[in-house]
Each structure stands twice: as structure tokens, then as C-alpha cells.
A and B are shown apart, each in its own frame.
Chain A
Amino acid sequence: MDRVNIPFKWQEATGRSQFISDRHFDNLLEAKLFRSTCARAKILNITLPKLPSGYFVFGAKDVPGRNELPIVLSDWPVFASSEVRYLGEVILLLVGPDLKELDRLAKLIHVEYQQLTPAFTPQDSKQLIQGAIHNQDAIDDLKNVFDRHKLNKGDLAAGFSQAEHIFEESISTGYQEHMYLETQGMVGYHKDGKVVIEGSMQCPWYVHHCISTVLGSEDVRVIQTPTGGAFGGKEDYPDVLAGALCVAVQRLKQPIRLVLSRNEDIAFTTKRHPINFHYRTGVDSQGKIVAMDVKVDINAGAYLSLSGIVLQRAITTCTNVYDIPNATVEATAWATNTVPSGAFRGFGSPQTCFGIETHLNHIANKLGLDAAEFKRAHLLTTKSKTLTGADIFGDLVLEKMYAEICESSDYHAKVQAYRQQDRGANKLSGIGMALFQHGCGFAGDLEDTLVKAVVRLVKDDNDEIEIQVSNTDIGQGLSLTFCKIVADTLKRPLSSVRLAAVDTQHVPDSGPTVASRSIVIVGYLLEKAAEKLTDIWLGCTAQSVEQRYSKPDYHQWDQQAFKGNAYQATSYGINVVELEVDSATGVSEITGLWAIYDVGHVIDEAVFKGQIDGGFVQALGYGGLEVMTLDSEGRFQQTNMADYVIPTALDVPKIHSSVVDNPYQYGPQGAKGGGELTHNGGAAAYCAAIECAINHPINAIPVTPEVVCSLLYGKKSGLESMTQEEQGHENQL
């Protein structure tokens, strides 16, 4: 395997990069997952067909170690044995030389189920029909609850007592599918006494830990192959593939390939969490928000996976970039019988951003105020306390960013013009703005207490330096930015620094590639390691240094009280979307996109521009195009890339973006996280632009042409307040 990735992306651009499906393995066997066909049931019996020679089936009884995927909690089994909790849950793994024969054999497997009534939404889950899915033995209030937290700032009752107006509404967001272009896949084989898994993944040490748990052995090794996009989707789900595959590899000691088809990937891998928000907000006679009470219900799906962490980020960012003096947030992650919801770029923040931005727009409109100016009047300042009671660290440049984007997009003049447009025109114009922030790195103090990242620099006797970390380049450009950080610090040419392939046999555990922690945490450790190497540098001599994480002094977090710095640092952004809605079809054409960001200091402008454009467009898909709904059996109604539509080059214009330089003291070269931030505001800004164009409030995304037409010509109330599941049902009628 190639261990060098310089020049940057040359292999990818010339088609030489070998993704897992491109790699050759002698004597390769194929594998296929056999999955549950119902959403909630007890398994009474499994009948297998007679297997031809060379074909094998593996299930729960074949697991040598523990039949569990160790993702935060170990509630998700590798192979379901006594019950299934979602349609598509893995029950067996079939292995053999020919994939078509595996398909034939899979059709001959008979599972006898005792079906139970499934819950598909938090509302269903609360009803505990036929008992709880999760936490059966808990007191009623905690049944089906994966996680619950409450935050409080100030005095809510005192705040509401000052209110002259109280606004109350529900807002919801739906599923989003990652739709990385390369589907999930891996190959396992036996080498030097170890079970080795190679594949498309974000977090090889997670997979390493997983197969070690499942096999009950430390003789395991995991290698990341070039990964064709992830966006969070290859954080948790690779464990599902690897957990099953490693059992077969250990037994058969032959290379086995497990690559999901696109249909299988869409149907059964994790998605962005659907969230229902309920806001109750008090505004005083001066137009100031004095109290805000937020209830958050998250559809976590059948197993916890990363929902506790998504919940934590969703609530700690619940009041966004605003200083609300009195606020409470109560949030619950509910167990349902759907595909487990998982990590997705932003990790709960795009949902909370859509919720509060939309809610504040509605309040401003009802008060007859300009929405952007209403928000500006509530911006955090350096004197503010965050929702979790911490001081703001560093300088805030929100006012400057706001002024700049208003000017570059001509926001205020356009809002004025569009307010007065002829509502009966064929084309309706709209413009919308969203402000947002993103906590960099893990929430709370997990970096310090759990991850304990280690990075290593290894220099050979030619003074060539290898960076050894477990963070993966999944398209976000780490293979360049990490090299730049190290080369700049060492004052060595970029060509003398390379990033090692992520192989758990060679690289230390510098933590997972998640939560935009790669730059602000791992990049900073690399900068420190390079400084250390500079201090001891001996030319033409092999040397190596390691650097461990230690948290900055100002960073304090109390996990019990949920108080303190929810994140080590926070990045900020503002997006503006301008569009035209065809009033006959409801179809909108985006005519202008503007974006501005504070990510501390940008290490490579072109790499960050790639994140800006990619994140914004993915968020516009989330806001306007990407519909994912469940049928009555708990199956996603969208089954392929023809009916789950993502933006094409024609759906978006050029993005006018800029950054402000506001270096962060504890980031490499002053950098903070940026990759997830860029997805947080697009959907909210898109929805605001549609609201501006059609002059109707909207309470859910995606805002499809069907929703727009329904608002313009259909039932005047109802659809805008529906959850996405309900919209899907409505669309079927």
C-alpha cells in the first residue's frame, strides 16, 4: 500500500487511487449480510438451507468474543439472535465464492418471527406499545429513553414574568442520507497471525477496538483504504460490517470482501437524526428576548450508537450565537424501531441551527421587525456567558461578519424590495440569512478524559518526516493541511513531510476523525510535536517524537452539572441564500450564495474553500431537496439515487465566500475547526429565503416544491407544521 500522498490528490485525479473495490486479493471470497425483514420482532427460529461446498453462514453463536459493537454503549449486537429492533438489522453473514449464489441462498433462509408493534417516531416511542424497546426495567419515565439532559441558564420563570409577548411553536427536521459516492465496504484477511480489516472508514481505531471485542483477541489490525467520502457516515457503521466480517475471516482464514450495494447502503446505514423542537419564547416590550424554553426530541433509532453525543451537541448549541439571559433546554434521545441514527457532519448542530434561526425569523416577522436586525440585537458578546455558563474565550467577530455579509450580498436592500414584490408574479424572489456556530472538537472534556490523543513524528536519516496519526483524509484534505502544519513549524520543504497510511499497526491512536477535531486538536498536537523535534533536531539522523493531549487551562467542564466550556473553542459563520420561486411549480432556483466564516486562521485557503462549498451545498440539499421518509413497515421509501436526490452542478451557483482572520491561541497556526461548521447554516438560510419569497412561515425541512405549492395553494395550515414522516405520509395520499 502506498504510504505517501504527495503531490496532493494526484493519485485520485489520475484514477490510480485504489478504493476497496479496486484492490486485488488472491482467493477472494464474497460476503453478504442477511438482514431482518421486520422492524420489531422476537426471533423464534431460523432455518438454513443446505449449503453447497465452499459456502458458509455465520451468526451470533459463532462469535468467539462478545456479540456486541462497542460504540459508546454495547447495546448493538453484531448478529441479532433473540430479537430484531429495526428492519435491516444484521442476523447472519453468508460467505462463498459467488455473490449470485449467496443471493440465492439468502432467499432460502427462513426466519420465524413473532412480530411486535414497532415505534417509528419519538411520539410512538413515548407510548410504549407492547412494552419498551429499550430500558424495559426502568421506571416508566425512563423507558425507551437512551439519554436525557436538561440545561438551565438564569431564571426562566423570572424571564417569562418580564415578557410582553410569548411565542410558541414546533419545528422539525428530517433524515438526511450521507450519500458519499463510495458505498461502505471492506475486505478482511488473515496475515501474520492477525485478522486484518482494510476498508473505507473514518476511524480505524474504532474498528480495531470493535473487532478486538468481537474476536476476544488483540491479534487484529485495521487499515484505512482511500475513502470515497464519509461525512460522518463512516464513523459508526463500519463497525457493523467489520464486526460480522471478522468472525468469518478468523474462521476461514481467507480474504473475504463485503461491499454494500447502493440500495443496501441507503436502506440500512445510519442517517442524520430527525429532531422535533418545541420553542416557547418570551419577548419584552423593548423587543428583547427575556426567556426561552426549548424541548428537544431526537429520534435515535434502534440502538444508542452516537445519539448521546449528538444530543449533547444539539442542546449545548441550542441558543446558537445569541445571548438569551434565561433559558432552559430539555432534550431526550428516544429509542425507536428505525435504522440507528448516527454521526453526520454537524452532529446535531444543523438541526438546532435550523430550529432557532427559523423560530427567531417567525418571532421577528410577527413583531414586524427585520429578522436579521432582531438577531443582531441578541448576538453574543465577549461579556456574554454561554448557555452552559462559560465565559466566551477569545475575540468575537460576529458584528464584523454580519456587516460584511450584509454588504456583499446587499441583504437589506433586497429584503426591502422582496417584501414589496407582487405576490401574484410568476417568479417570486426571496433572500434569507442564517447565523451559526460550531463547537470544535469533542463536547465537554471527553478529549481529556476519554480520547487522550497521541501523535508521532518520525524522521529518517535523510531528514524525511513521516506524520503518524490515526486521523484519515476522507476528502477534507488532512493529508495536505497536516503536512503544511508540520513543514511550516519545522521550516522544512513540504515535500519532505508525508502522512503515513492509517494502519493501526503503525500509527498511534490520535483519536477519531470526527467533530472537526482533526485540525484544532490533532493539528495542534502536530505543531507542538514539530516544535519538540525542532528543539532536538540532529541533521541526517533518525529521530522521533510523540506528543500527548493536555487541555488548555481555561477549559473547564463539569459533566454532572453540565456546566462550563462545552467545547474547547467555537467557530462561527453566516450564510445568505437568494433564490427565485416559480409560483406555478414551487420549484426554486438559487440565484446567489454568500458565506463568511471565523475559523481562527485558515491554514490552506483552497482546502477550506472546498469545505465551504461542499458543506454549503450539502446543507442546501438538506434544506430543499433531500427527502427521506418511512413507509408503514419502517422501510425508507427512497431506495436509490434517483429518488433520493442530491444537488447537481446545475442546482447551485458560485458561492461568494470569505473568512475573517481571528487566530485562536491553542490551534495550529491559530486555526479552529471548519469542516462541520460549513453545513450548519445552509438549510436555515434556504428556508428563510423561501419564506421571504412566498410570505408563509415554514416549520420543517426539506422545503420541497410540493411543500411550497401546498403552502401557496393547498391547505393553508397544517403541512408547514408537519414532521417529515407526516409529510411523507401526506405525499402518499
Chain B
Amino acid sequence: MKISFKLNSELVTVDVDPLQPLLTTLRDELHMQAAKQGCGEGECGSCSVIMNNLMVNTCLIPTIQAKGAALVTLEGLRDTPKGQLVINALLEAKGVQCGFCTPSMVLALYHLLDNRTYADITPTDKQIRQALAGNLCRCTGYGMIVEAAKIAAKLWGEV
């Protein structure tokens, strides 16, 4: 079945089983491999992308559900100024260890910072931790990812 949606601001059309997980479509058909399969059951968040401005687990979403939607993956974000800001903040805070969960962490931090009511106020630890709670990391203990959010928040208005 032909399904069209916006991927990183470009219209794409795929011809796949409509119930195929969106993650499979992104990785195998569209070669967007920054999203990873960690559990395949919506628990770890390694496969998350931003869909219609929501963080979603693509391993749980049938591709048909993306019809007409706007998707942002790390491939679409990493070359933008704000995407780079988040990536640099994460590297500065040394919040990347094995790196398997990192693409989803970049998106989660970006999504948090991009959707603040008051963009000039740095989110609290609790707000950051809530924003990251759907994305598991087994390496870092999260502290340095939280620090990355604060580093990026402070520079957000400058880019």
C-alpha cells in the first residue's frame, strides 16, 4: 500500500504493508538508521522520532499511522543549528557512552527545549528527567544527559 508523509520536511511515499512497524519502514525503506531497535516493544525508546511534534516509539506504530504526518528523525535534525546545538551540548557534557540510545536522546532533548512555554527559562531537573523518562540509557546514569539539556537551554536563544 502506498503511504505518503513528510519526512524531515520532504514528502515521501512508501509502498509497504500498512501494518509494518514505522521503524522498519524508516530503517529499511528510507535508510533512516539513526533510530534503533532496542526492544521492539515500546519500552526503551531507542526507536523514537518526532511525529507531529510528539515523541513516539516507531517500533509500536504501524506505518499507516504516519500517513499525512510530519516526521523528524535525527538525520533531519543533525544539520540544523538547533540540532547541532543539542548534539554539541551532549558531547560537551559527555552524555554519550555506548551511543546506542543517543539519537533518541538528542531528539528527546530537542523536543523538550523546542516545546517550552518560556524559551528563556532553563527547565528544572525534574522537567528534564520527565522528558527523558521514555528513553532508557543503561550506560550514563542520565546525570550528564540532564546536564546537556541545561547547556543547550542556555544557548537556545542564540541560534
Contacts and interface: CB of A to CB of B under 8 A. Distances in A.
Interface of A: 7-19, 21-22, 178-183, 226-231, 261-262, 474-477, 606-607, 609-610, 612-618, 640-642, 646, 648-650, 652-655
A609 B33 contact: no
Contacts of B102: 9, 12-13, 15
Nearest to B43: A641
A16 B106 CA distance: 13
B37 interface: yes
Given A8-B91, A181-B98, A229-B138, A613 B143 contact: yes
Interface stretch (B8-16, B63-71, B113-121, B128-136): B128-136
Given A12-B99, A228-B100, A21 B37 contact: yes
A650 B44 contact: no
Nearest to B148: A13
B38 A182 contact: yes
Contacts of B41: 262, 640-642
B78 A650 contact: no
A225 to B, nearest CB: 12
B146 A181 contact: no
Contacts of A13: 87, 90-91, 96, 99, 102, 106
Nearest to B38: A181
Main secondary structure, interface of A, reads: loop
Contacts of B101: 181, 228
B94 interface: yes
**By CB atoms of chain B within 10 A, which of A13, A17, A475, A641 has the most?**
A13
Given A181-B44, A181-B101, A231-B138, A15 B34 contact: yes
Nearest to A657: B143
13 contacts: A10-B91, A11-B99, A14-B74, A21-B36, A181-B44, A181-B100, A227-B98, A228-B99, A474-B98, A615-B141, A641-B39, A648-B136, A654-B143
B75 to A, nearest CB: 7
A672 to B, nearest CB: 20
B75 A15 contact: yes
A229 B98 contact: yes
B140 interface: yes
B142 A640 contact: no
**By CB atoms of chain B within 10 A, which of A9, A15, A22, A649 has the most?**
A649
Interface string B69-103: 00000110010000000010011011111111111
A641 B138 contact: no
Interface of B: 33-34, 36-41, 43-44, 46, 74-75, 78, 87, 90-91, 93-103, 106, 125, 128-130, 132-146
A549 B122 CA distance: 50
A618 B132 CA distance: 17
B46 A613 contact: no
> Which are the 6 A-B pairs with shortest beta-carbon distances?
A12-B99, A15-B34, A613-B141, A228-B100, A475-B98, A617-B141
A180 B138 contact: yes
Contact of A15 (B39, B74, B94): B74
A6 B145 CA distance: 20
Given A21-B37, A617-B142, A652-B141, A476 B97 contact: yes
Contacts of A8: 91, 94
A163 B20 CA distance: 69
A229 B139 contact: yes
A641 B44 contact: yes
Nearest to B100: A228
A182 B36 contact: yes
**By CB atoms of chain B within 10 A, which of A10, A12, A262 has the most?**
A12
A15 B142 CA distance: 19
A411 to B, nearest CB: 21
Contacts of A616: 141
A535 B145 CA distance: 42
B81 to A, nearest CB: 14
Contact of B40 (A180, A261, A612, A655): A261
Contacts of B132: 648-649
Nearest to A475: B98
Nearest to A182: B100
B99 A648 contact: no
A181 B36 contact: yes
A181 to B, nearest CB: 4
Contacts of B75: 15
A21 B40 CA distance: 14
A171 B41 CA distance: 35
Nearest to B89: A13
Nearest to A617: B141
A610 B130 contact: no
Contacts of B129: 649-650
A640 B96 CA distance: 25
A609 B140 CA distance: 9
A7 B144 CA distance: 18
B144 A613 contact: yes
